[in-house]
């Protein structure tokens, strides 16, 4: 059974750095083809893809946010960490992490965490 | 970036109706197209991957077609639990862009 759960602060101040952790179970990020991605959704708006890390440490970022994002993995802890620098109120959103299989599921996100709402406000 | 455009943005339909939502990519994405359903306050759920493959556990009234740039999601007979927002997403290249969503409402 695959599960993912996001954790991190619910409130950050403008200009601060956000660090979110995705802790997962039921799969290994050392298995070929497996990836974990981050997606966010501002209140009442559409989904926005942020970043993705694969089993082989291949990392992909949204070009519009690339300068602010870092994604890393700790295979031994079953965790993926996303950091986003210079937070702004427009970054207020629910942040999701999700499991992806590059080959057998065409890179879709088949399992999602429950999401965590991050509010950026002074 | 590949842009994904869904139509319509919103749709009103009745239980039992057949509805189709379309998604167009700004360039060819082969069949690297996925569909998600999201109910208010809930987590997105994968319905269809690879344009037409039904995710395990998803009712067979959902189907997907298309390749290249034009895709569609069809619900053959709407059920009350199907009223939600639907998103397409391309996984052909990064960034893995989503469409803007189609809100399916009860008529």
CB-based contact, A60 to chain B, within 8 Å: yes
CB contacts, 8 Å: B96 with chain A = 37, 49, 52, 60, 107
By Cβ distance, the residue of A39, A63, A108 closest to B34 is: A108
Residue given tokens 């695959």 in the structure block:
A2
Structure tokens at B48: 């269809």
Nearest residue in chain A measured CA to CA from B6: A46
Of A63, A64, A112, the CB nearest to B44: A112
Classify strands A48-54 and A109-112 as parallel, antiparallel or unpaired: unpaired
Q: What is the tens place of the pLDDT at every residue in A42-63?
A: 999 999 999 999 999 999 999 9
A72-82: pLDDT as tens digits: 999 999 999 99
Residue A2: predicted pLDDT: 97
Give the model confidence (pLDDT) of A107-119 as tens digits. 899 999 999 999 9
CB B21 within 8 A of CB B13: no
Q: By the 8 A CB rule, do B36 and B87 touch?
A: yes
Residue of B43, B51, B56 for testing the chain A interface, max A β-carbons within 10 Å: B43
- Would you say residue A104 has pLDDT above 80? no
CB A79, CB A65: distance < 8 Å: no
pLDDT band, very low/low/confident/very high, at A69 (cuts 50, 70, 90): very high
Give the β-pairing of B33-38 and B45-49.
Answer: antiparallel
The gap between the terminal CA atoms of chain A, to the nearest Å, is 40
- Does the distance separating the beta carbons of B45 and A46 come in below 8 Å? no
Helices (H), chain A: none
Position A105 confidence tier, pLDDT thresholds 50, 70, 90 = confident
Q: Do B49 and A115 touch (CB under 8 A)?
A: no
Tokens of A99: 């499991």
């Amino acid at each position: 059974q695959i599960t993912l759960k996001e954790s991190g602060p619910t409130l950050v101040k403008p200009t601060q750095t956000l660090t979110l952790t995705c802790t997962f179970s039921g799969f290994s990020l050392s298995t070929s083809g497996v990836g974990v991605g981050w997606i966010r959704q501002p209140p009442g708006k559409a989904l926005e893809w942020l970043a993705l890390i694969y089993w082989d440490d291949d990392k992909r970022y949204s070009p519009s946010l690339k300068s602010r994002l870092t994604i890393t993995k700790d295979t031994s802890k079953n965790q993926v960490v996303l950091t986003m620098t210079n937070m702004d109120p427009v970054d207020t959103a629910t942040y999701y992490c999700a499991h992806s299989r590059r080959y057998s599921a065409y890179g879709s996100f088949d399992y999602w965490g429950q999401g965590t709402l991050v509010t950026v406000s002074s | 970036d590949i842009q994904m455009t869904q139509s319509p943005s919103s749709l009103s339909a009745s239980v039992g109706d057949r509805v189709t939502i379309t998604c167009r990519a700004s360039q060819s994405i082969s069949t690297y197209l996925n569909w998600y359903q999201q109910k208010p306050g809930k987590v997105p759920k994968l319905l269809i991957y690879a344009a037409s493959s039904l995710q395990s556990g998803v009712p067979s009234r959902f189907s997907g077609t298309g390749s290249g740039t034009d895709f569609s999601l069809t619900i053959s007979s709407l059920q009350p639990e199907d009223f939600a927002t639907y998103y397409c997403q391309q996984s052909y290249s990064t960034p893995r862009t989503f469409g803007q969503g189609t809100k399916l409402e009860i008529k």
